[in-house]
Each structure stands twice: as structure tokens, then as C-alpha cells.
Structure 1
């Protein structure tokens, strides 16, 4: 009997040690396609307008985790694919956080993306936690730049012009600070679009690193 008890205690000890090792390894695990900033980056105030015609400023970030990316509704590929992927994984990502998780689609093409156009575009994805917004370039450019993203308009006079823009997704914490960047895989011959499954795998690792400080 004592021998069996010894085996049981040894097994329990090994299990506990394995659990501690797993927890430590998870804390030290590095996300594959995400960059966590050494220090949270405070965002200056900004003034945008959402798809419902309501003002959006820094206070709208408070109390939520926010995944933000830039694009435009006439984008033929990266934007609809990215928005579809983010809308699809939003419930799974939100389950990992105590605070709500929102997705911001920031249109950098205010000339064509009216409030009505934005509303129609975002509503197509049928996800209440996805919000579209835009503004004049005087507001958009500094806001996008402080998110660590970019966009560029061509000088063409054609109506069907393309807009060059980042494909990465910025993560903002409930204090309104930029804390991480999720990047798309870069493979020759393929569109740089966020990998939904990799985002799901990286997201808890990012949260662990942020908690560890």
C-alpha cells in the first residue's frame, strides 16, 4: 500500500511540475506574426466619424480592446478579406478578454467613402462589434501614422483609383494605448492578408506578454 501511495505522490508531483513548466513556457512563448511593443504607446486625441454619423475620439477606445486596420470600401481584395476574417474570429478573441473587443475599419478614402457607403459596407459583414469610420486627411493621416500604419493616395484623376495601405492590424488596450501589431504572412504570389488561425494562436500569447509587463 505504501509503495502505491509513493507512486501516486510521485505522479502528482510530476503532474504539478509539468503544469508549472507549461504555464512558464506559455508566458515565454513568442507570437509568430505579432509584435508586442516594449511599452504601451499613448495615442493623441483624434476626431473621426463613424458609419452612423457619430463622432469618434480617443474616449471611444476606453474600456475596450480594439483591433484597428485601414482600408477603403473600393478595395478589391485585402480589405474585404481582412474584415471578413476579423469579423469571423471576433467572438473567439473576445472570449479571451475581460473587456469587450471591437474591430475598427478606418477608411482612408473619404472622397468615395461617404457615411452611407461605409454603413452599407460594414453592415454586410453582420457583426455588431465591427465599426467603420473615416475623416478628412488632416485627421486621418496623423491618426493612422500614430497607429504604426500607413496609406498613400495616387495623383490620378481616374474614378477607380487604388489606395496603397498597410495590411497589418493594430491592437489598442482598454486604456487607449497602442500595445501590439498583428502582421499578415508575407508569401510570394499571395495577398498579404491576416491569417485568422494564426491570429487566434498569437492573441493569447500577446495578452500573456502584456500581463507579464
Structure 2
């Protein structure tokens, strides 16, 4: 009798182990450097000015995927590296979705970054999907905060200044909602920027978690 009981217990353990392994195998892979929000976050209305001097609001986010990040044209490292990487990988990312995929470079230095200055800067990267924008700080600060990013002016004794800002890239869905955030690769002694290979690997996993059907 004890032998039958032992065989029964072993059979139950084997079934449970098999079921657990199956569930693990069925579970989709997690993105390594992306945060997917359990529920997409709605954006309040905002008013920015693009590189052509046109007003841009929440409506311009509809019917497209948008990768948005903050910076400024006088940025010595993070901004040009991030924009170059996103501009270069845009065609591959765009091929994964039905809707257009745009890149928003949001300058948080309106004192120096006029629309003309931003236009010249953005055009250098030769990617028509990139749009440069800015606004006064009264519009920029609440909008950037909505995105889950930050910036701060860092002025020295001579009156010159740099702008401290986030290096993450926010994904906005075609409903104009914040859906996910791609985090930079942070390593000692290196500039924190998005890793394009990791972005390409994470992007489809993010779409799966969002329930997107390409």
C-alpha cells in the first residue's frame, strides 16, 4: 500500500512539475531595459512649438507611435548620441507597427533653442521622422513631468549653463497615451544612452505586453 501511495505522490509531483514548466515556457519574455506601464497614462493637453514654428498639441500624437525624449541642441553628449541612434534605428522599429513611428526631440532650453536652431540641429540627422519641439518653461515643465522625465538648468558663476535632463525615451501609443519607457544603458565612465540593439530586442516585447496586434 505504501508503495502505491509513493507512486501516486511521484506521479502528482511529475504532473505539477510539468505544468509549472509549461507555464514558464508559455510566459512571454520580459524586456530587459524597458518599463511597460500596467495601464497607459493619459496626457493632459499641452502646447509646444515645432521646428517650423507651428503649434503642436496632444492631437498631433494620435494615429502614430511616438518615441519622445528631452534635451537641448547645446548638449555635448547624451542628446546627439540618442538622436543619432533613434534616427538610425527608426526604419526597423517602424516596420514592427502598422501606424507611422515618429521621434520627438523636445528641447528644454528655449532661451537658446529657437525653432530655427532646432530645425538646423534636427536636419543634421537626415531623418524625416524626427520632429524638434520646444516651448516656454510654463508649458515644458508640466509636459516633461507628465512624461515621467525631468530637467533642470545648471548655471555656473560665469552665467553659462548646462541642462541636466533625463536620458530615457518615452513610448507614446496612437491614442496619445504614455505606454512605456526605454531606459538608457548606464555604465561607469560612459555616457548614459539608449542601446540600439537592446531597443530593437525590447520593442517587440513591449508591443506584446501592450496587447498590440501588428
TM-score by length of 1: 0.86
Would you say how many aligned residue pairs link Structure 1 and Structure 2? 191
Structure 1 residue runs of 4 or more that deviate by more than 6 Å after TM superposition: none
Mapping 1:112-151, distance limit 5 Å: 112-151=112-151
Uncovered stretches (5+) of structure 2, i.e. residues with no partner: 1-20
Tell me, in whole angstroms, the C-alpha distance in 1 between the residues paired with 2:105 and 2:30: 27
Tell me, in whole angstroms, the C-alpha distance in 2 between the residues paired with 1:212 and 1:125: 29
Q: Which residue of 1 aligns with 2:209?
A: 209
Tell me, in whole angstroms, the C-alpha distance in 1 between the residues paired with 2:98 and 2:140: 30
User: Helix, strand or coil for the counterpart of 2:41?
Assistant: strand
Q: 1:46 to 1:29 in 2, by over 3 A?
A: same
Q: Which residue of 1 aligns with 2:104?
A: 104
Q: Which residue of 2 aligns with 1:51?
A: 51
User: Helix, strand or coil for the counterpart of 1:132?
Assistant: strand
Tell me, in whole angstroms, the C-alpha distance in 1 between the residues paired with 2:212 and 2:173: 15
The alpha-carbon deviation at position 186 of structure 1 amounts to 1.2
The alpha-carbon deviation at position 156 of structure 1 amounts to 3.8
For the 8 Å contact 1:70–1:165, the answer to whether it is kept is yes
User: Helix, strand or coil for the counterpart of 2:70?
Assistant: strand
For the 8 Å contact 1:27–1:208, the answer to whether it is kept is no
Tell me, in whole angstroms, the C-alpha distance in 1 between the residues paired with 2:212 and 2:113: 41
User: Helix, strand or coil for the counterpart of 1:211?
Assistant: coil
The alpha-carbon deviation at position 154 of structure 1 amounts to 2.2
Tell me, in whole angstroms, the C-alpha distance in 2 between the residues paired with 1:102 and 1:210: 18
Tell me, in whole angstroms, the C-alpha distance in 1 between the residues paired with 2:212 and 2:49: 35
For the 8 Å contact 1:27–1:209, the answer to whether it is kept is no
Tell me, in whole angstroms, the C-alpha distance in 1 between the residues paired with 2:25 and 2:128: 35
Uncovered stretches (5+) of structure 1, i.e. residues with no partner: 1-20
Q: 1:157 to 1:117 in 2, by over 3 A?
A: farther
Tell me, in whole angstroms, the C-alpha distance in 2 between the residues paired with 1:212 and 1:129: 21
Higher Cα Rg, which structure: 2
Give deviations 1:98-156, integer Å, cap 9, x for gaps. Answer: 10000000000000001110000000001100000000000000000000000001244
Q: 1:145 to 1:52 in 2, by over 3 A?
A: same
TM-score by length of 2: 0.85
